[in-house]
Amino acid sequence: MVHIEGVLQVTDETFAAEVLGSDIPVLVDFTADWCPPCRMIAPVLSQVSGEQQGRLKVVSLDVDTNPETQAAFGVLSMPTLIVFQRGEPVKSLVGARPKHRLMQELDGLF
């Protein structure tokens, strides 16, 4: 599993509590070990997690070991980033991107 410093790893079992039940917006990184772009975006997500602590929660879900959540949200490509607010998906992004572009795309969501 791609470990991202400062980013909580969620599973099919913990997804509802950690993501859907969160009081603040949550950015979910749907990732896989075999995915080079996933490794490329990992340091970006680590930075965003640290800088936005308390405003945006960043979590990671390994699609290979958590197929139920992946299927529930129709995730087909990795990395897919989905922002959830009050338990609902509000924005979906596919592919790695630099931090400044990610922050532009997330502007206004948290």
* Whether 35 is catalytic: yes
In a domain, 72, yes or no: yes
Catalytic residue among 4, 27, 28, 35: 35
In a domain, 3, yes or no: no
In a domain, 2, yes or no: no
Domains of the chain: total? 1
Q: What is the pLDDT of residue 73?
A: 97
Question: Is 99 in a helix, a strand, or coil?
Answer: helix
Catalytic residue among 4, 7, 38, 48: 38
Read off the pTM: 0.96
pLDDT of the chain, 110 residues: tens digit per residue? 667 888 999 999 999 999 999 999 999 999 999 999 999 999 999 999 999 999 999 999 999 999 999 999 999 999 999 999 999 999 999 999 999 999 999 999 98
Task: Report how far residue 77's alpha carbon sits from residue 65's, in angstroms, rounded to the nearest whole number.
Answer: 15
In a domain, 76, yes or no: yes
Are 4 and 29 in contact, with CB atoms under 8 Å apart? yes
Task: Indicate which CATH number applies to the domain containing 48.
Answer: 3.40.30.10
In a domain, 99, yes or no: yes
* Whether 65 is catalytic: no
In a domain, 95, yes or no: yes
Q: What is the pLDDT of residue 1?
A: 63
Which residues constitute the domain of residue 26? 8-106
